[in-house]
């Protein structure tokens, strides 16, 4: 079985910069992974990503050095089993609010007797049976990341982080902003106070924590403050901003011609 490089870097304390993919397209993933990001998030919660497209994207990611993280749509053991079997090594789980939810997630990514993940001896994850050590190593190599994005999750953050088998936490700034009464405004000082508080409390118990932030100034602040893994852009955002930039440039050029 291949070593989970993303998990190994977290254990080493190496900060990792990532990018978020929501277009559910292997071509977009191929372009993104030709840049030197440390990790890429393949989203199935807020993107039209189904298992065959996730598998195709994982194959694309495997062509290079970028590590894949797959966000499942919910804390559901069937969803975990399916993405793990097609080759995901690192899984991000949304909306984890308490210890019970964390324990369910841990059980879902581990084979018995440590958990309840179903066993198949021939999947893409073990190269269709060629990796004879997969069943013995998978529990150690799979990386489990849990999202904290509610008031209850914030209250229980350190207890969640303490659950054995949880490898790291992740702040969801948009949902957290909504929970704090600032829907659509993750930059609000109340939200930022909660985010930096989550960073401090997570590090107090010795667990890494990550975040997504596409605002360059805020992303830089999070990196400088010590967030362990930060996604700094999304494929949709890059496509939209690039399209708008080139259109604005063309309109400026047209306006200059008309003035002449």
Per the annotation, the verdict on 46 as an active-site residue is yes
pLDDT-derived band at 256 (thresholds 50, 70, 90) equals low
Judged against a pLDDT cut of 90, whether residue 58 lies above it is answered with yes
Reduce the DSSP state of residue 70 to 3 states and report it: strand
DSSP bridge pairs for 169: 146, 209
Q: Is 72 in contact with 80 (CB distance < 8 Å)?
A: yes
The more confident residue out of 187 and 260 is: 187
> Cβ neighbours of residue 256 under 8 Å, at least 6 residues apart?
none
Q: Which of 4-8, 189-193, 252-256 has the lowest mean pLDDT?
A: 252-256
Judged against a pLDDT cut of 80, whether residue 259 lies above it is answered with no
Q: What pLDDT does 254 receive?
A: 86
Q: What does the pLDDT look like over 181-230, one tens digit per residue?
A: 999 999 999 999 999 999 999 999 999 999 999 999 999 999 999 999 99
Catalytic residue among 46, 162, 182, 188: 46
Pseudo-torsion of CA 89, 94, 97, 102, nearest 10°?
A: -20
Q: What does the pLDDT look like over 243-253, one tens digit per residue?
A: 999 999 999 98
What percent of the chain is modeled with pLDDT above 90? 96
Q: What pLDDT does 216 receive?
A: 96
Q: What's the mean per-residue pLDDT of the chain?
A: 96
Q: What does the pLDDT look like over 73-89, one tens digit per residue?
A: 999 999 999 999 999 99
Q: Is 26 in contact with 57 (CB distance < 8 Å)?
A: yes
CA distances from 240 to 50, 63, 130, 155 (A): 23, 26, 42, 36
| φ, ψ dihedrals at 77, nearest 5° | -60, -30
Q: What pLDDT does 255 receive?
A: 80
């Amino acid at each position: 079985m291949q070593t989970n490089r993303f998990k190994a870097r977290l254990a080493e304390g190496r900060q990792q910069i990532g990018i978020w993919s929501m277009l559910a397209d292997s071509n977009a993933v191929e372009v993104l992974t030709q840049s030197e990001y440390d990790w890429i998030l393949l989203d199935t919660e807020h993107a039209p990503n189904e298992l065959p497209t996730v598998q195709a994207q994982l194959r694309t990611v495997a062509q290079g050095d970028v590590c894949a993280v797959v966000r499942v749509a919910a804390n559901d053991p069937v969803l975990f089993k399916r993405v793990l079997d097609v080759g995901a090594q690192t899984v991000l789980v949304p909306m984890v609010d308490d210890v019970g939810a964390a324990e369910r997630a841990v059980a879902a990514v581990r084979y018995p007797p440590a958990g309840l993940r179903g066993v198949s001896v021939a999947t893409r994850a073990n190269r269709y049976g060629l990796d004879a050590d997969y069943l013995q190593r998978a529990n150690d190599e799979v990386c489990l990341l849990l999202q904290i994005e509610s008031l209850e999750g914030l209250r229980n953050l350190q207890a969640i982080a303490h659950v054995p088998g949880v490898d790291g936490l992740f702040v969801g700034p948009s949902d957290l902003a909504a929970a704090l009464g600032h829907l659509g405004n993750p930059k609000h000082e109340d939200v930022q106070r909660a985010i930096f508080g989550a960073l401090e409390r997570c590090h107090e118990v010795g667990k890494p924590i990550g975040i997504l932030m596409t605002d360059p100034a805020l992303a830089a602040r999070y990196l400088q403050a010590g967030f362990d893994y930060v996604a700094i852009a999304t494929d949709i955002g890059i496509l939209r901003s690039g399209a708008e930039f080139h259109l604005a440039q063309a309109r400026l050029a047209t306006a200059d011609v008309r003035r002449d």
